[in-house]
């Protein structure tokens, strides 16, 4: 079963670096050169596989179900530009059949007693809190090396990513079979990355794109959904809110633990108890959901700090962005202009502003904007 929450899309920082600032690879050492080479090869292979959606629709040999999905993508793509003010360019107008489950795999790492993710920095895209690999084996090798070095690590498959408009990002087989609402959500998210990008601030960028996708899907469902789709989406959002509340609770406990005066050994023992409690809380939540198992795969992993950090990247500032959209009378053009102004501020100032906006807004069901969880990440 697919995860009920999609938190693994983002910006292909490594791809942008090697293709737009290729000389940097030459000073990165042999290991760096190998990483950049796989990124360039993966991106160019992806582009070579893509061809216009209209060509797929006109091809008599293409499966009818795929044609239906591609026709829905065209409608969603047109809605994104017309109603949400998202870029009307060549992105998501081509389709690539990759014949694999994910387009790439992201590695996220944190110290064992911190929720602050390790940053990987690139001249073009700045610093990001994950590193992507087109080869699962290479991603696993990188994850293993980080674990051997004592880091907490998460390895996650990525169905889509954005190149920030430098290339025409294609629709891919890795997500074409998603339900329409999830398909719309993903396309809105990735196009949002092309509107605003704050170099070196993954939380800002991903939370902004998540806010756009969530509001965008709500509007799209009002215009194109039926009662069944709207009910399913409302149930999905309620469960996602409950899931995030569980993680918020665990994060708050972890932050208190890591900031305490206890010894490292005591902190590590308390850390085990925190994650054990998270697992127990999830089993209780499942009962409240009537046995819904959509998050079982996520909780079947050996959870650690990196998992909490990864989710935080995509959701911490969403309440602040939604409050800002409301301030702009829900006008996306004015909203994007306001977000661009935020992106021009220094990182600390803009994040503090988003925290203040989130605290002044009505809280999402089950999720609070916890200032400590946002700022005190030892």
**pLDDT of res. 27:** 38
Half-sphere exposure of 193 (CA within 13 A, CB side): 29
Tens of pLDDT, residue by residue over 79-117, are 999 999 999 999 999 999 999 999 999 999 999 999 999
Looking from the CA of 35 toward its CB, the CA atoms found within 13 Å total: 22
Handedness of CA 32, 35, 38, 41 (dihedral sign): negative
Nearest to 162 by CA among 97, 120, 208: 208
Q: Count the domains in the chain.
A: 1
Is residue 28, in this structure, part of any structural domain at all? Answer: yes
According to the model, what pLDDT value does residue 171 have? 97
Residue 8 placed within a domain: no
Query: Rounded to 5 degrees, what are φ and ψ at 28?
Result: -90, -5
Is 7 contained in some domain? Answer: no
Pairing type for strands 171-172 and 94-96 reads parallel
In 136-260, where does DSSP find H-type helix? 136-148, 180-195, 202-224, 227-258
Q: Cα separation of 12 and 162, whole Å?
A: 6
Angle at CA 261, nearest 5°, toward 257 and 263? 85
Using a pLDDT cut of 90, give the percent of the chain over it: 75
Confidence grade of residue 127 (pLDDT, cut at 50, 70, 90): confident
Has residue 295 been placed in a domain?
yes
Rounded to a whole number of angstroms, the CA Rg of the chain reads: 20
Cβ-based burial of 21 (10 A; exposed 0-12, middle 13-18, buried ≥19): middle
Average pLDDT taken over every residue of the chain: 88
Contact 131, 120 (CB under 8 A): yes
Run of H or E including 74: helix 64-84
* Residue 121, strand partner residues: 127
What backbone torsions phi and psi does residue 263 show, to the nearest 5 degrees?
A: -70, 160
Domain holding 259, by residue range, is 13-375
pLDDT digits (tens, 9 = 90+) for 25-34: 333 444 567 7
Please indicate, yes or no, if residue 335 is contained in any of the structural domains: yes
Whole-prediction pTM value?
A: 0.85
Which of 98, 101, 95 has its CA nearest to residue 59?
Answer: 95
Q: What share of the chain is helix, strand, coil (3-state, %, to 5)?
A: 60, 10, 30
Query: Is the alpha carbon torsion for 44, 313, 2, 54 positive or negative?
Result: negative
Residue 26 lies in a domain: yes
Residue 3 lies in a domain: no
Does the pLDDT of residue 364 top 70, yes or no? Answer: no
Taking residue 123's Cβ as centre, other Cβ atoms within 10 Å add up to 13
Q: Write out pLDDT tens, residues 214-224.
A: 999 999 999 99
85: left (phi over 0), alpha (psi -120 to 50) or beta: left
Instruction: Give the pLDDT mean for 33-60.
Output: 90
The owner of tokens 């600390």 is: 348
When pLDDT is averaged across residues 45-60 and rounded to a whole number, the result is 95
Residue 359 inside a domain? The answer is: yes
pLDDT at 201 over 60: yes
d(CA 180, CA 108): 29
pLDDT of residue 125: 66
Q: Are 189 and 214 in contact (CB under 8 A)?
A: no
pLDDT at 231 exceeding the cut of 50? yes
């Amino acid at each position: 079963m697919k995860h009920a929450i999609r938190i693994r899309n983002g910006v292909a920082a490594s791809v942008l670096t090697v293709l737009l600032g290729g000389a940097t690879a030459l000073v990165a050492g042999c290991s760096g050169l190998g990483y950049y080479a796989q990124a360039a090869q993966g991106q160019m292979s992806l582009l070579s596989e893509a061809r216009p959606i209209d060509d797929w629709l006109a091809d008599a040999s293409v499966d009818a179900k795929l044609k239906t999905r591609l026709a829905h993508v065209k409608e969603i793509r047109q809605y994104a530009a017309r109603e949400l003010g998202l870029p009307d360019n060549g992105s998501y107008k081509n389709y690539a059949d990759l014949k694999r489950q994910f387009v790439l795999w992201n590695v996220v790492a944190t110290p064992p007693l911190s929720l602050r993710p390790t940053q990987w920095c690139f001249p073009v895209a700045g610093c990001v809190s994950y590193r992507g690999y087109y080869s699962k084996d290479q991603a696993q090798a990188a994850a293993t090396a980080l674990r051997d070095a004592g880091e907490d690590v998460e390895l996650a498959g990525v169905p889509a990513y954005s190149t920030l408009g430098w290339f025409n990002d294609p629709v891919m087989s890795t997500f074409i079979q998603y339900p329409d609402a999830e398909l719309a959500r993903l396309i809105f998210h990735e196009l949002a990355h092309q509107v605003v990008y704050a170099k070196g601030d993954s939380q800002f960028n991903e939370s902004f794109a998540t806010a756009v996708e969530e509001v965008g899907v709500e509007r799209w469902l009002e215009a194109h959904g039926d009662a069944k789709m709207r009910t399913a989406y409302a149930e999905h959002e309620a469960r996602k809110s409950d899931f995030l509340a569980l993680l918020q609770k665990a994060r708050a406990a972890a932050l208190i633990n890591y900031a305490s005066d206890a010894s490292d050994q005591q902190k590590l023992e308390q850390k085990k108890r925190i994650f054990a409690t998270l697992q127990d809380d999830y089993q209780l939540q499942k009962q409240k959901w009537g046995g819904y198992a959509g998050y079982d795969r996520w909780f079947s992993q050996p959870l650690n700090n990196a998992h909490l950090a990864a989710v935080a990247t995509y959701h911490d500032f969403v309440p602040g962005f939604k409050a800002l959209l409301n301030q702009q009378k829900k006008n996306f053009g004015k909203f994007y202009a306001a977000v661009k102004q935020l992106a021009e501020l220094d990182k600390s100032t803009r994040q503090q502003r988003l925290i203040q906006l989130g605290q002044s807004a009505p809280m999402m069901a089950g999720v609070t904007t916890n200032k400590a969880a946002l700022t005190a990440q030892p």
